[in-house]
A and B are shown apart, each in its own frame.
Chain A
Amino acid sequence: MKFSIERAVLLKAVSQAQSVVERRNTIPILANVLIEAADDFVQFRATDLDIEVVDKATAMVERAGATTVSAVLLHEIVRKLPDGALVSISADAATGRLTVSAGRSTFSLATLPKDDFPVMATAEYAANFSAPAPVLRRLFEKSKFAISTEETRYYLNGVYMHTAKAEDGAVLRCVATDGHRLARIDAPMPDGAGDMPGVIVPRKTVAELRKLLEDDDMIIAVSVSETKLRFATPQLTLTSKVIDGTFPDYTRVIPTGNAKRLEMDAAEFARAVDRVATVSSERSRAVKLALDEDRLILSVNAPDSGAAEEELAVAYGDEPMEIGFNAKYLQEIAAQVDRENAVVMLNSSADPALVREGDDLSAIYVVMPMRV
């Protein structure tokens, strides 16, 4: 195998591969990226046995072939090469080494046989549809903060992507929750997604999707089965197993009877929460919200370190009430609200609050209060 490739193209392909490989894995081949050169392109394939990415890049291939080499090592090398360099890569079957050279630098890397590399079995997908990258990006980016890290509730360690019936028709919906907060994000149903089974997309897959979905003009091909899902652009294909579990019935968690309405500037609110929470030394910082007519007083009282209070002008016309929340949860939700005012629907100090952007129901958040 021998080919030349532009440093920038190679870096992009290898960086996706090195982020997928498991850093602490005990199976040596899983630390490697499978490089396959044929015709006018080179494929870089990496897997942790749950996720597989295949990145296709154009290159000048002199001799077809394949081998595997440490993904992290190759990434580090390519990253340190000068911008604009032309990188030449060749495998020497006799020595079992992969030579990487650019300008005056030459690296000789250990390889492992390509036949040892585990390739993920192809699946029969129940639904195939395509959606613009920004639509999918919004679904995952706005919900991922609520993914649980608790391993005992493994079925919450991902985003539940499924189809649902919303007020104004069928939607593609992503839900994530850790029991303390919940995010429910809707997008118009793409053609062909109707038959899609609901799947729990693992946290790591959601993180890996970021790069795949970053180009605004890209149309992403999505395939979903009961056990796997695939996101593909012409260059990049990401296949992932889904979490084998049942996502809890989240619909009963979403409050429907909260009648007290608080409206405010989300960014200003988040900054104020951040300021008052400074004095709290606890890990779960509790902030008290005291509501009165068009006035919100945020306060934190930490017996050991001090107290803080800040007043915000808000729109509120219901009876005065007090409610406490974990400061971090409030900030994370407020950070999702970026176009309009945040609207918070409240019931009592013990009931979950519902947060949305203006009156837009396509992105709603639920947060559990905290006794203060």
Chain B
Amino acid sequence: MPSLCRDCFTQFDAQPRCPACASPRAARHDELFDLSIAHMDCDAFYASVEKRDNPDLANKPVIIGGGRRGVVSTACYVARIRGVRSAMPMFQALKLCPDAVVIKPRMQVYADVSRQIRAMMQDLTPQIEPLSLDEAFMDLSGTARLHGAPPAVMLARLVDRMRRELGVTGSIGLSHNKFLAKIASDLDKPRGFSVIGRADTAEFLRGKPVRLIWGVGAAGQQALSRAGIETFDDLLRWDSADLTARFGSMGTRLWHLARGADNRPVSPNRPVKSVSKETTFAEDTADADLLDGHLWRLSEQVSAAAKAKGIAGRVVTLKLKQTRLKSITRQISQDDPVQLADRMYRLARALLVPELGKAPFRLIGVGLSDLVPDDQAERGGDLLDPQAAQRAGAERASDAIRARFGPDAIQKGRSLR
């Protein structure tokens, strides 16, 4: 069976260990050197970066996440052994693992590392579709001649290089489409290398639960479960037409996925659909001033992201979560797309005011959607708010100062609340 040493990248056959370096770490599969769609997923990415930057943490359980009331964003593998999982409420994680070192996320640092990883991927192929900071699809079809090596070899080299140069490890899933590549990368984490070939696709999916499908969350599972669909085998019993009738376009997709078919291309330019930021409070709050302060800071962050991307949006969304985890979302649509923090904040505040009676809240968020390039934005004005133009000018000037002297060079008093 075609095999690849994941330490010295020697290609060999049959032998249990690498004939060149005697390493037992080998990837083996009949189609190993023929497959070219890959999914790379970093292992406990944020935690790995923290451990890299602070070697004292190496053997300690590390949890990345916000305050006591927040959720676990990433748990290192030491913490995972104790049962900590991402998206778990922090208090629960700390009950399982009281000695955990909890670190607030340093998004800027992670984003920098992510950029370096992306640059390494760029050396393999331009067909990269990032899903988040720490995972991406890659299509290496037709690159074998260019690199003088099949995709599997290049991918093994990529994760090895990430480990040596950046100090973070990743797992590779290699298959013939995105759906299977994504599932494969999760099969033997950390530092995994899993392959699902064409010939063994049907065998692989047999008996597997449908929740493996990326995008089928709790609600989707429930809907499928009501139709008696728990596993891929259940899906196979359905007609394409019946699935479509019941689940719409998702039904058609499910029919294909059940057969291991997924023809979505790896698309590097998946357009951004929305920009949003939210914050969970340490304690539920009904304090209008405090909420207002958060609203301003969130608007500033969303605005900064929009400015960095050169986009603006026609729809501003306010998100609130009540104590009983009930979500409230309110939207406002504008003819003139919004990019400035000042305008976004004022619109979001107008949405917030009528909802204050529903306080206390545990979460507040601001989002921007229906996006357009920013040369079409902030072109009008408000007859009833003649000072808006001045405030817009002040914001642009503050942005210029921050660009030159750093993000804390100038701030509004409002943001200190």
**A interface residues with partner B (beta carbon < 8 Å):** 150-153, 177, 179-182, 248, 250, 252-253, 282-284, 286, 324, 326, 350, 352, 366, 368-372
Contacts A283-B335, A326-B335, A350-B389 given; does A182 touch B379 at CB 8 Å: no
How many A-B pairs fall under 8 Å by CB? Answer: 58
A-B contact pairs, 6 of them (CB 8 A): A179-B382, A180-B335, A253-B383, A326-B335, A350-B381, A370-B336
Contacts A152-B347, A282-B372 given; does A182 touch B314 at CB 8 Å: no
Partner of A179, one of B378, B383, B389: B383
B155 to chain A, nearest CB (A): 38
**A interface footprint on B329-359 (CB within 8 Å = 1, 0 otherwise):** 0001001100000000001001100100000
B349 to chain A, nearest CB (A): 9
A323 to chain B, nearest CB (A): 12
Confirm or deny: B141 has a beta carbon within 8 angstroms of a beta carbon on chain A.
no
Partner of A370, one of B350, B351, B372, B380: B380
**A interface footprint on B99-121 (CB within 8 Å = 1, 0 otherwise):** 00000000000000000000000
Interface residues on B, range: 20 to 34
The interface centre, meaning the residue of B372, B380, B385 with most chain A CB atoms within 10 A of its CB, is B380
On chain A, the residues within 8 Å of B372 by CB distance are 282
A180 to chain B, nearest CB (A): 6
On chain A, the residues within 8 Å of B336 by CB distance are 180, 284, 370
**Complex formed: what's the CA distance from A326 to B347 in Å?**
21
The answer on a CB contact under 8 Å between A253 and B384 is yes
The answer on a CB contact under 8 Å between A150 and B381 is no
**Complex formed: what's the CA distance from A177 to B384 in Å?**
9
A360 to chain B, nearest CB (A): 21
B351 to chain A, nearest CB (A): 6
Confirm or deny: B376 has a beta carbon within 8 angstroms of a beta carbon on chain A.
yes
On chain A, the residues within 8 Å of B386 by CB distance are 252-253
On chain B, the residues within 8 Å of A180 by CB distance are 335-336, 380, 382-383
The answer on a CB contact under 8 Å between A182 and B350 is no
The answer on a CB contact under 8 Å between B381 and A369 is yes
Partner of B379, one of A248, A250, A352, A371: A371
On chain A, the residues within 8 Å of B383 by CB distance are 177, 179-182, 253, 352, 366, 368
The answer on a CB contact under 8 Å between A152 and B351 is yes
A208 to chain B, nearest CB (A): 25
A75 to chain B, nearest CB (A): 32
The answer on a CB contact under 8 Å between B335 and A153 is no
The answer on a CB contact under 8 Å between B379 and A179 is no
The answer on a CB contact under 8 Å between B332 and A368 is no
On chain B, the residues within 8 Å of A350 by CB distance are 381, 389
**Complex formed: what's the CA distance from A368 to B380 in Å?**
7
**Complex formed: what's the CA distance from A26 to B347 in Å?**
30
On chain A, the residues within 8 Å of B376 by CB distance are 282, 284
Q: Closest residue to A153 on the B side, CB-wise? A: B350
